[in-house]
Structure 1
Amino acid sequence: MSQHQKNLDLLSDIVKKAQGLGADAADAVMVEGTSLSLSQRLGKPENLERSEGQDLGLRVLIGQRQAIVSSSDLKTDALNELVERAIAMARVVPEDTFCGLADPDQLATEFPDVDGYDPYEPDEQTLISWATKAEDAARSVDGVTNSEGAEAGWGRHDVAIVGSNGLSHAYTSSGCSISASILAGEGTAMERDYDYSTAVYASDLTDPETIGRTAGEKAVARLNPRKVATQKVPIIYSRRVSAGLLGHLSGAINGSSISRGTSFLKDKMGEQIFASNITIVDDPHRKRGLRSKPIDGEGLANKKRNFVEDGVLQSWILDLRTARQLGLESTGHAARGTGSAPSPSTTNFYMEAGELSPEDLMADIKEGFYVTELIGMGVNGVTGDYSRGAAGFWIENGKISYPVSELTIAGNLKDMFLNLTPASDLEFRYGTNAPTVRLEGLTVAGQSA
């Protein structure tokens, strides 16, 4: 019997016990994880860790009352106690008229292969080699003076979920990573930068030498930053930071924010919120995507969906509970942990590429700001007001000219979205991805004039 089947059988037994003790409905999820990580600094390993763990969560419903209990102890006595505790809690918690499992006819009947598991498991020596190559390449860059270290890691997760509604599914995911963080300069004039790569398959990782060299070159490029006066100029967000704008969008169109009325986009469904050439997509079935999964956390079918099409907002991000609150259908975006109820979340969320290269985007900018780092979390999700510290490079006559720091970007996300132009350089490096983008009409606060 496969490990997946053993886990499904265990969860099925727990759900049946919950029903036998009075639950009207129940579901259980189990996550088994194994990880290996290595960190080193200045050529010497600092930490080498391997962890193996498992966690199980049970959700029971009695009428419209819901309780969730989780445990990492899978012994029979502990699981029996977990079921009893969940039942006892569900009898006394307040009613939630919107909670509940999916109806059987809502459950997915097909389970796409997202190619989310690499059977290759790197050993300790492989991780040491990756980190060593990355740090050595970084330290060989002229101008690099110190290192915060390099890291390499690998992990695998086995997920199983069973519900009294007929849901029963299990799958495995994996991932590898390499990173380097490097210092350049001396004394109080030192600058830091980094680079990293994460992928489902080890063979898809950026090679360690490139990671290290890029981290070192970025750190050196930031040396001797200047200050600039407060002014309104065009701003270019590099790919490293542009995905953050999509993070603000996904939070604003998340069903939880919409149902509470706490989103600056709560009344914008069907309206133009971006320029007409912009499409923003969520694709849970992207092959080897970092957040790909065959079904959502409630067992519903998920699919590629345009949340913004031709600049128009098409849908909220919904699970069953938020869909019921809003009188809509779930979009298949429930995410689930072992210790909490399902909630809406994106998977592989991205902005489609534009037609112009990053160089073309800045070619007509007499003076502007190329942003490579954002600092702080000064974003108001209710009003859309945006104010964040930033660093990067000043643009003069269409070219990157010199490093700048200690700036603040201020504006409102509604205006930022409407005045945004994407470049053609989209890459899938993170869970949320966007190309380089250009923004108009923002204030860059620096030195007083």
Structure 2
Amino acid sequence: MKDRLEILAERVREAALASGADDAEAIVRFTDSSRIEVKAAAIEGSRRNREISAAVRVLVGNRPGFAYMTDPDAGAVKDMVQDAVEGAKLVPSGDENRFSTAAGVGDVGNIFHHAGFEAPLNRKIDMACSLEASAMAAHPAITTVYKPSYTERYQVTAISSGGVVWSYEDTLFSVGVQAVAENNSGSQTGYDYQVCRNPLDLEPDAVGLRAGLEAGGLLGGAPPETGEYPALIPAKVTVGLLDVLASSFSADEIQKGRSGLTGKMGQQIFSPMISISDKGLLPGGVGSVPFDDERVCPISRLLVDAGVMAGCFHTIRTGGREGKESTGNGFRGSMSSVPSPGATNLILEPGTAPAEKSLPSGVVLQIEDLMGLHTVDRVSGDFSLGAAGYILRGGERMEPFRNAVVSGNLFQLFSMVLAVGNDLEFYGSTAAPELLVESIIVSGK
């Protein structure tokens, strides 16, 4: 498959040059993905999707053009490159419009485990069944396990630019489950998942257990008293906050004034306890790639160094606007879009001790779930989110709470971090430890 895609990528680029482009970059991608869901220890549904798609970017002078297609054939390639060339004649020119001339790929270890992709079907079904069984057994109040699933994806990417063709293969495997607990006080849900490159690293029993314990543990909770409290934020919730924060480090958003970090480079933006890195060459990382969708090797570096903004995500184009090089963070949301700045493996660096060791003696809220993270204002950072978790007194867990509303500002929240735990946990390509935050505003009863 790699050889076939490399040939197609080069053919697309050559067709673009023959159609009047002064330079061109072609990307071809093959994706083969499957999902299995079970119910009552039997397969309930499965689906598989296979697709080859291609896209081309051209330069006519310094004017950029773009087009894409699925299921490419000779006629479609010709039409696509002509659309890109004609489109380029209609847009403004810019010196930042150029393509990669990189000479080497990055070493990311093994991100391709095709043997796992070709494993027997019953082994994959067993993983989904293990999720269901462990979630049901996690707590006596669990009544329903919703969509325990096993998902896999095999992908091949080939890019032709600068007279060379590069390609790589990668795999992703994941499991996920939602558990529902019920008693006389009502119902509560818990969710957990895991994503990895190697299926041997999947732990469906542990994932199901965590989902079940989360649902069962939060039963019986009532809204807490309205007020301001220190907050203990577990790793999974911190990852969710970090995922929201990631777009603020996009150079495109910063340059257009659509980020709360515009004009903040070199300034103290967060607590000195906070350091955030982007590690595109992390061996075996879920977000690791030998090169991005512009054929640039990712650069592993700090975005935040002891609270000071030290970097952002650059593509070739955003870097060109500032006279800088790409950081290897150019990725396509889909083949129908051009590369834009995004994270590889985004990591909030862990501390040296558990955050619990820094707990104050009074009341602390342990936030186990934040609902509505998609509503956070990506520019101002303001949020108002549903919350559930536990009330701690003197460092001891006393009772659950739910139906609370946590309000504040995302940038200020990371500025009020008092302690960073040593329990780094990966959820997909984002990793974070537990955080202790000085104060959050809670609306309850």
TM-score (norm 2): 0.93
Partner of 2:275: 279
- Superposed, 1:258-337 pairs within 5 Å as 258-336=254-332, 337=334
Give how far 1:195 is off: 1.9
Out of 421-430 and 285-294, give the one that drifted further: 421-430
Distance, in Å, in 2 between the alignment partners of 1:283 and 1:140 is 37
1:146 aligns with 2:121: no
Give how far 1:187 is off: 7.3
Distance, in Å, in 1 between the alignment partners of 2:319 and 2:225 is 47
Distance 1:177 1:137, change over 3 A: same
**Which of 135, 141, 158 is residue 132 of structure 2 equivalent to?**
135
Task: Provide the secondary structure at the position in 2 that maps to 1:10.
Answer: helix
Distance, in Å, in 2 between the alignment partners of 1:277 and 1:213 is 31
Partner of 1:224: 220
**Which of 108, 114, 117 is residue 112 of structure 2 equivalent to?**
117
Q: Do the aligned partners of 1:73 and 1:79 also contact (CA within 8 Å) in 2? A: no
Seq. identity, % = 26
Partner of 2:386: 389
Task: Provide the secondary structure at the position in 2 that maps to 1:442.
Answer: strand
Give how far 1:186 is off: 4.3
Partner of 1:407: 404
Out of 173-182 and 342-351, give the one that drifted further: 173-182
Partner of 2:33: 35
Distance, in Å, in 2 between the alignment partners of 1:259 and 1:416 is 24
Partner of 2:48: 50
Q: Do the aligned partners of 1:40 and 1:149 also contact (CA within 8 Å) in 2? A: yes
Distance, in Å, in 2 between the alignment partners of 1:169 and 1:274 is 39
Distance, in Å, in 2 between the alignment partners of 1:432 and 1:27 is 29
The aligned amino acid for 2:288 is S
Q: Deviations over 1:172-225 (max 9, x none)?
A: 11011122211111477111112222110011111x222222222221111111
- Superposed, 1:172-211 pairs within 5 Å as 172-186=169-183, 189-206=186-203, 208-211=204-207
Q: Do the aligned partners of 1:167 and 1:299 also contact (CA within 8 Å) in 2? A: no
Q: Deviations over 1:66-100 (max 9, x none)?
A: 22221112221222222222222222x32142552
Out of 385-394 and 228-237, give the one that drifted further: 385-394
Q: Do the aligned partners of 1:146 and 1:184 also contact (CA within 8 Å) in 2? A: yes
Q: Deviations over 1:13-47 (max 9, x none)?
A: 21111111111111111110112211012333221
Say what the alpha-carbon RMSD is for the aligned residues.
1.9
Task: Provide the secondary structure at the position in 1 that maps to 2:425.
Answer: coil
Distance, in Å, in 1 between the alignment partners of 2:30 and 2:164 is 19
Distance, in Å, in 2 between the alignment partners of 1:88 and 1:213 is 56
Partner of 1:60: 58
The aligned amino acid for 2:269 is I
Task: Provide the secondary structure at the position in 1 that maps to 2:439.
Answer: coil
Task: Provide the secondary structure at the position in 1 that maps to 2:114.
Answer: coil
The aligned amino acid for 2:197 is V
Q: Do the aligned partners of 1:38 and 1:152 also contact (CA within 8 Å) in 2? A: yes
The aligned amino acid for 1:356 is A
Distance 1:212 1:26, change over 3 A: same
Distance, in Å, in 2 between the alignment partners of 1:55 and 1:178 is 26
1:254 aligns with 2:250: yes
Task: Provide the secondary structure at the position in 2 that maps to 1:212.
Answer: helix
Structure 2's unaligned 5+ residue stretches are none
The aligned amino acid for 1:128 is I
Distance, in Å, in 1 between the alignment partners of 2:326 and 2:157 is 22
Task: Provide the secondary structure at the position in 2 that maps to 1:55.
Answer: strand
**Which of 321, 344, 362 is residue 347 of structure 1 equivalent to?**
344
Distance, in Å, in 2 between the alignment partners of 1:417 and 1:213 is 30
Distance, in Å, in 2 between the alignment partners of 1:113 and 1:380 is 34
Give how far 1:313 is off: 1.0
Task: Provide the secondary structure at the position in 2 that maps to 1:428.
Answer: strand
Out of 312-321 and 62-71, give the one that drifted further: 62-71
Distance 1:115 1:323, change over 3 A: same
Give how far 1:392 is off: 1.2
Q: Deviations over 1:372-428 (max 9, x none)?
A: 111113422322323222111111221222111111222223322221121110022
Distance 1:144 1:9, change over 3 A: same
Distance, in Å, in 1 between the alignment partners of 2:87 and 2:314 is 27
Distance, in Å, in 1 between the alignment partners of 2:305 and 2:21 is 43
Distance 1:444 1:323, change over 3 A: same
Q: Deviations over 1:85-136 (max 9, x none)?
A: 2222222x321425523353xx142432431111222332111111112212
Distance, in Å, in 2 between the alignment partners of 1:59 and 1:358 is 48
Question: What is the number of equivalent residue pairs in this alignment?
Answer: 439
The aligned amino acid for 2:257 is G
Distance 1:96 1:345, change over 3 A: farther
Q: Do the aligned partners of 2:9 and 2:160 also contact (CA within 8 Å) in 1? A: yes
Distance 1:248 1:49, change over 3 A: closer
Give how far 1:327 is off: 3.7
Distance 1:102 1:86, change over 3 A: closer
Distance, in Å, in 2 between the alignment partners of 1:128 and 1:443 is 44
Distance 1:50 1:380, change over 3 A: closer
- Superposed, 1:358-377 pairs within 5 Å as 358-362=355-359, 364-376=360-372, 377=374
1:237 aligns with 2:222: no
Distance, in Å, in 2 between the alignment partners of 1:15 and 1:213 is 50
Out of 368-377 and 151-160, give the one that drifted further: 368-377
Structure 1's unaligned 5+ residue stretches are none
Distance, in Å, in 2 between the alignment partners of 1:195 and 1:240 is 9
TM-score (norm 1): 0.93
* Structure 1 residue ranges, 4+ long, deviating more than 6 angstroms after superposition: none
